[in-house]
Chain A
Amino acid sequence: MHKVTFKFENSEDVTVFAAFGESLLEVARKTNVAIDAPCSGNASCGKCRVKLVSGELDSKKTRHISDEEYEKGWRLACVSTICADVEVLVPDIASAYKSRMKVADLSSPDEVKIFDDLKEQVEEAGITLANNLDVVQVSMEVPTLDDTMPDNERFTRVLQKVSERTSIQIPYSVLKKLPDILRAGNFQVQVIIRKTNKDVFVYDIFTKEENVVVGGLAVDIGTTTVSAIIINMLDGSILAKASSGNGQIRYGADVINRIIESAKPGGKERLQKAIIEETLNPLIRQMCKEIHMDPMHIYRMCVAGNSTMNHLLMGINADPLRTEPYIPAFFKTNSLFASDIGIAINPDSHIIVAPNIGSYVGGDITAGAFVSMLWNKPEFSLFIDLGTNGEIVFGNSDFMISCACSAGPAFEGGDISCGMRATDGAIEACTIDKDTMEPVMTIVGNEGQKPIGICGSGIIDVISELFRCGIIDPKGKFVREGKRIKRDKYGMGSYVLAFEEDADSVKDVEITEVDIDNFIRAKGAIFSAIRTMLAYCDFDISMIEHVFVAGGIGSGINMSNAVHIGMFPDVPLEMFQYIGNSSLSGAYAMLYSTQSERKVYEIAKNMTYLELSAIPQYMDEFVAACFIPHTDASLFPQQ
């Protein structure tokens, strides 16, 4: 056995013993040391860089590490095996996926606007914005020697009277504090209840003086990113909003790798722990801290995620999703409570799960389709959710059809050598001068922020600009030379957006031919899915009247550039509308409005699921779409 020490820039060392020949990445995983490895350790993404501080590592050289970097001690964890005692530095960029959890600033109107707009649209569609949680004020007779009714009886009777229901359910958590609260409030209390046609359930009890907030939690669990909001269930206002990386990412960047990992012994538990204990609970704690709220005052939760994320959240075997005939364990469930899976909110909270409709079209899409309102329009719309999986819904008020395609994590910056999410330091927009090939970039963050990497919307811009300037050919290979074009010793070209000295990174911020190739596949998957699905319904692109684009790619997405590279169909630009994280806003709608929740179930029931892998021409369409803009240039007449 050899001693392996992981060192960090900002925290304490972690030491562990490992056997000769063990992979460093595996050792790190076992020890819970977070090293980002979106490709699951195939040496294809080059993200798992560590720096050898002392000792030895048996490490292969790869194209991701230059000779100079190798000399300095940089290694890829996935191709390094243990051969002696060793100390490695895990750089902060490697653990960047945790990405310093980001709490949104709700004072900025943009953050709240999307929810306000949604509420307006939902009401216009004739849906009531209300739910069955409520706060009621009750006062009881103070007990005396002549009136010796027990507390819970007294409490039940008054609630029966106030609520006009006979069945009143008081859980243990309320019973436990009932005597104290009743006496502290002199038998005048406020009660948080859920009132249905049949009964009343008591969630919590407070003295009259206390400032009571009925909290709700809406969460979008993305394969790469998790975002959440805490709302006031009584008026629908947003109290806090935050996002972070999905802690499961170290078990693989895409759903397939996660499922494979979950099928290993103890895997379901590991993945469930990664999402709940390492991601959701810290996120909830952080938001609650920000707004000085007790997490126990959150009484309902709604989750929207893809089918795999839903299964893994609940610790349910997801393996059948991956293998033919691709069967999920459930589409819809009504019986999940916070205490079942250890979410750190009120244990009696009901968890609403946006329904899945297929193995690869999940609740994120049913919730998103609701938000797009395409079900409420007579004209045809296309809804595209750009995530690790690209999902597409097409239809109108009469019918809806959906499909999913594997776009890979490129839209969220994964699988791209300098890729990152749209956080500080990300290049989110770019133009390039055709003659000098010099870029002009917009970078997320405060003024003077140096670029660190590039996010989805930035990649679209860069590729579109490189193509427009004739720097790359339609296959994404570099055909011009210049100061900003580099070639490695294998001949692979790259375009340098920011040289090391101008970047807040240990290397040049660049986009390589491999990155472009990955991105072309991602955009090819989306476009070919759109074409295949439309052709399947005997429709063509000219029938589309709205295109709703959702996902974490960022509001900065330049639709014109996205069309220019052949990612979206060539329809007039005014038809495009970016609707943000529709999975989260859909979860919000379901959480706040019971009628919206029902509508989402109805949408899910009425939506047809098209399995693209069962359609032979999909592969043909895909190859044709892996070209800028497309092998069939007539599909992009505006260019």
Chain B
Amino acid sequence: MPFNAKSGKFNANINTVELGCGDKKIAIGGENVLPFYTFDAPVENAPKVGVEITDGILENEPECVKKYYEGCESIADMAKKAASLEGVDFLCFRLEGGDPNGADKSTEELIGMVKEVAEAVDLPLVIAGCKNAEKDAELLAKAAEVLDGKNAVLLAAKEENYKTVGAAAGLAYKQIVGAESAVDINLAKQLNVLLSQLGVSSTNVVMNVGTAAAGYGFEYVVSTMQRVKAAALSQNDNMLQMPIITPVASEVWGVKEAVASEADMPEWGDAEQRGIDMEVETAAAVLASGSNAVILKHPVSIATISKLVKELV
């Protein structure tokens, strides 16, 4: 009897969500198979790779990343440079200086920078907040307003501020709402339910189900993503069918494997290579677990992951 491979194609799809506008518009999601299971059915949209820059311009970048942005003096310069890197599909601008417990930059200042970035590049934009729920509510609502028509992702609405962020981004300015939860399939779904009850269309939502650097409780991340995809596809759970976008850079570039200097850790080898390795490993793993887009920082990681995706899809 001949061997007949059974197709692992599902009757349900991940939502297709378009980001950005104009020529550089991209789409994520849409697949009806497990990640990279191109042998079961074509993967509608290949996973996308974004580059992250922050309002600190070069200030908070890792040493090994700084050299790629040499000569950049304004956020606009940096955005242009980032957009020109090989393999970049979209640009993520993180407003980390807004954190009241950190630099506590004013909303006006940061929104001014958002405008500069938006004028400098034509790539799809992701605006990430400062992780303080209260300040993010203000920042992201305002960013949604000034980016009217850009179809940008606002990352992220959390349980604490979903009403403000969701209403501004998802209802008033028809941007894409990033829904962030903390590595738990139920919490992820609950936030999606809350957003949809608020009136945000589920095709205007992408999820950040939480992440970690590889090795840092990462098995929870993998399991959560896999279970989200399994529920979305095999159980047709439409409250989990939003594509997943995973900010990898902000996790990876904070762990010792990526940042410890060679002077401190001579036995670990070249510091830059370590950072790249961490970022590539984490990104590859979250993509294999179900992420539809990753946000990275190091140009080499971006090029590597982009190549990986092209080879597989």
Which residues of A does B touch, CB under 8 Å? 473-475, 479, 620, 623-624, 626-627, 631, 633
Contact assessment for B190 and A474 in the assembled complex, using a CB-CB cutoff below 8 Å: yes
Contacts of B187 in A (CB 8 A): 623
Contact assessment for B189 and A631 in the assembled complex, using a CB-CB cutoff below 8 Å: yes
Contact assessment for A479 and B163 in the assembled complex, using a CB-CB cutoff below 8 Å: yes
**CB<8 Å pairs between A and B, sample of 11:** A473-B194, A474-B197, A475-B159, A475-B190, A620-B185, A620-B186, A623-B187, A626-B186, A627-B190, A631-B186, A633-B193
B40 within 8 A of A: no
Contacts of B193 in A (CB 8 A): 474, 627, 631, 633
Which residues of B does A touch, CB under 8 Å? 159, 163, 184-187, 189-190, 193-194, 197
Contacts of A626 in B (CB 8 A): 186
Provide the bound-state CA to CA distance between A623 and B181, in Å. Answer: 13
Provide the bound-state CA to CA distance between A479 and B193, in Å. Answer: 14
Contacts of B159 in A (CB 8 A): 475
Closest CB in chain B relative to A549 CB, distance in Å: 26
Closest CB in chain B relative to A571 CB, distance in Å: 22
Closest CB in chain A relative to B303 CB, distance in Å: 38
The answer to whether A631 and B190 touch (CB under 8 A), given A473-B197, A474-B197, is yes
Provide the bound-state CA to CA distance between A599 and B266, in Å. Answer: 73
Contacts of A479 in B (CB 8 A): 163
Contact assessment for A475 and B194 in the assembled complex, using a CB-CB cutoff below 8 Å: yes
Contact assessment for B186 and A623 in the assembled complex, using a CB-CB cutoff below 8 Å: yes
Provide the bound-state CA to CA distance between A633 and B235, in Å. Answer: 13
Contacts of A474 in B (CB 8 A): 190, 193-194, 197
Contacts of B194 in A (CB 8 A): 473-475
B194, closest chain A residue (CB): A473
A633, closest chain B residue (CB): B193
Provide the bound-state CA to CA distance between A475 and B10, in Å. Answer: 31
Residue A624 contacts which of B163, B186, B197 (CB distance < 8 angstroms)? B186
Provide the bound-state CA to CA distance between A627 and B190, in Å. Answer: 7
Closest CB in chain B relative to A471 CB, distance in Å: 13
Provide the bound-state CA to CA distance between A348 and B5, in Å. Answer: 79
Closest CB in chain B relative to A490 CB, distance in Å: 11
Provide the bound-state CA to CA distance between A473 and B194, in Å. Answer: 7
Closest CB in chain B relative to A540 CB, distance in Å: 15
Contacts of A624 in B (CB 8 A): 186
Closest CB in chain A relative to B212 CB, distance in Å: 18
Contacts of B185 in A (CB 8 A): 620
Closest CB in chain B relative to A527 CB, distance in Å: 13
Knowing that A623-B186, A624-B186 touch, tell me 17 more A-B residue pairs with CB under 8 angstroms. A473-B194, A473-B197, A474-B190, A474-B194, A474-B197, A475-B159, A475-B194, A620-B185, A620-B186, A623-B184, A623-B187, A627-B186, A631-B186, A631-B189, A631-B190, A631-B193, A633-B193
Provide the bound-state CA to CA distance between A627 and B185, in Å. Answer: 13
Closest CB in chain A relative to B137 CB, distance in Å: 11
B184, closest chain A residue (CB): A623
Closest CB in chain A relative to B221 CB, distance in Å: 16
Provide the bound-state CA to CA distance between A627 and B163, in Å. Answer: 17
Closest CB in chain B relative to A484 CB, distance in Å: 19
Provide the bound-state CA to CA distance between A626 and B187, in Å. Answer: 9
Contacts of B186 in A (CB 8 A): 620, 623-624, 626-627, 631
Closest CB in chain B relative to A493 CB, distance in Å: 11
A491, closest chain B residue (CB): B134
Contacts of A475 in B (CB 8 A): 159, 190, 194
Closest CB in chain A relative to B33 CB, distance in Å: 24
Provide the bound-state CA to CA distance between A623 and B187, in Å. Answer: 7
Closest 7 interchain pairs by CB?
A: A624-B186, A623-B186, A631-B186, A631-B189, A627-B190, A631-B190, A473-B194
Most B C-beta atoms less than 10 A away, residue of A475, A623, A631: A631
A624, closest chain B residue (CB): B186
Closest CB in chain A relative to B173 CB, distance in Å: 20
Contacts of A623 in B (CB 8 A): 184, 186-187
Closest CB in chain A relative to B240 CB, distance in Å: 10
Provide the bound-state CA to CA distance between A479 and B159, in Å. Answer: 13
Closest CB in chain B relative to A617 CB, distance in Å: 11
Provide the bound-state CA to CA distance between A474 and B159, in Å. Answer: 11
Closest CB in chain A relative to B119 CB, distance in Å: 35
Provide the bound-state CA to CA distance between A475 and B194, in Å. Answer: 8
Provide the bound-state CA to CA distance between A475 and B159, in Å. Answer: 9
B227, closest chain A residue (CB): A620
Contacts of B189 in A (CB 8 A): 631
B193, closest chain A residue (CB): A474
Closest CB in chain A relative to B9 CB, distance in Å: 23
Closest CB in chain B relative to A14 CB, distance in Å: 44
Provide the bound-state CA to CA distance between A474 and B239, in Å. Answer: 14
Contacts of A631 in B (CB 8 A): 186, 189-190, 193
Closest CB in chain B relative to A173 CB, distance in Å: 62
Closest CB in chain B relative to A529 CB, distance in Å: 16
Closest CB in chain B relative to A523 CB, distance in Å: 15
Closest CB in chain A relative to B199 CB, distance in Å: 11
Provide the bound-state CA to CA distance between A473 and B197, in Å. Answer: 8
Provide the bound-state CA to CA distance between A117 and B197, in Å. Answer: 47
Closest CB in chain A relative to B168 CB, distance in Å: 15
Contacts of B163 in A (CB 8 A): 479
Contacts of A633 in B (CB 8 A): 193
Provide the bound-state CA to CA distance between A626 and B194, in Å. Answer: 13
